[in-house]
Amino acid sequence: MSYQEREIAKDSLPKHLRVLDSDEGIRIEDKIGFVFINKISRRYCVNVSKNGFDEFFYMYNADDVLNFLANKIDPLSKIFAY
């Protein structure tokens, strides 16, 4: 199996979060860092990486992740599903 990644529109992020499987992920890039989102054992792991430092946050539903991301990503951020 090969690794494939594709850019997704910001308005499709809620759908991608809701159907995220354990072997998939989402990466968000902006000018200050990266956000990586995975889903493991019924909860989402959100890794915020800035200036070489990582912070991990855990949430139990897609709406909580979207609320968390609301002030962390800007309109120019690029979002990728893999």
Sign of the dihedral defined by the CA atoms of residues 9, 13, 16, 21, in that order: positive
pTM higher than 0.85, yes or no? yes
| Predicted confidence (pLDDT) per residue in 56-77, tens digit | 999 999 999 999 999 888 888 9
- DSSP states of 33-56 as a string? EEEEEEEETTEEEEEEEETTEEEE
Q: Which helix (H) or strand (E) holds 82?
A: none
In the chain, domain spans: 6-81
**Nearest alpha-carbon partner for 10 in 43, 32, 35, 33:** 35
Which amino acid is residue 25, in one-letter code?
Answer: G
Sign of the dihedral defined by the CA atoms of residues 44, 6, 28, 33, in that order: positive
pLDDT recorded at residue 2: 58
